[in-house]
Structure 1
Amino acid sequence: MVASLSTQMMGPAATEGRDDAPRMANVARRRPTGRYVYDSSDEDSDEDPVSWRKVPSQAPARYTTEDFDSLDELEAHVDQSADLDAVRLANELDPWELWEASCRRKAWHPIRHRDEARRRSKSSVARSDDHSVQEIASLLSSFQLQQKENERIERESFNQRNSVLWDGIEQAIRDAERRAASEAEQLSNARKKQEQAELEAKQAREKELARIEAEKQAAAQEEARVKAKQKEDEQLAKEQKKFNAMRGGKHLWPVCKEEYKHWQAEMNIIKTEILPTIASNQAWRKQCFAAKRIITPKIGQLTNTKSEIQRITTAIHNVLYEAKNAPDQSARRYLYYWMMNHLVKCLIRQAEQEVAARQDTAYPLARVVLGLILLGHSALGDVFMARLVKKCPFVLGYVPEKPNDCDDTTYRKYLGFRTDQEESTQMYVSRLTGIAALYFACLQTSLTSIASCIELPPDTSLEKLSKDVPLMLQPSRLWIWQVRGCTPPVAQYWLFPSLWCTFLEIAGVAVQQRYKRQASKLSSLILDQGIRNQQLGPPNATKDNEILHAARVRLQLMLEAWRSTNSLVGYASQGRDME
Structure 2
Amino acid sequence: MRFAAPRSPSPSPTRSNRRHRSRSTFGVPSDSSSEDETNGSDSESPSSSEEEWLSSGTGVQTSKPRKQKSLAEQWLMEDTLASVRRRINHHDPYEEWEKETRQEAFRVARQKHAQDCVQQRNARDERRAQDDQRRAALHALELKEVESQLAAMNLQKQQEEATLRAQWQERDRQLWARIDAVIKKEEERLRVKQEEERKKREAEERVKREAEEKKRQEEERKRKEEEDKRKQKEKEEEEERTKLVAAQAQKERELAEAEARKALGHTTAFEDWKRARDTLRTLKAGPMKVVKQDKSLKSIWSAGRRAITPKVGQLTNDMDVIVRVSHEVVNILRPSAAHPPPVYLALLSSLAKAILMQAETEVTAEKKSAIPLAQLTVNLLMALDGFADIFWAKLCQRAGGWPVPIAVPPKDVDGTAFTPQTQRKAHGFRDSDELESIGDYTSRVTGILRVYFTVLVLPVNQPLDPLFRTPRYWSYFSRMLKDPHLLENPTAAQVMFTALDIGGLIACEVWGSQWTRLLALLFEGVTVGYHGMEGRLIGGKSPEGNASRTRLQLEVERIMTAASTMAVGFAS
Radius of gyration: which is bigger? 1
Q: TM-score, normalised by structure 1?
A: 0.48
Q: TM-score, normalised by structure 2?
A: 0.48
Greater fraction helix:
2
Of structures 1 and 2, the one scoring higher in RCO (CA 8 A, sep 6+) is: 1
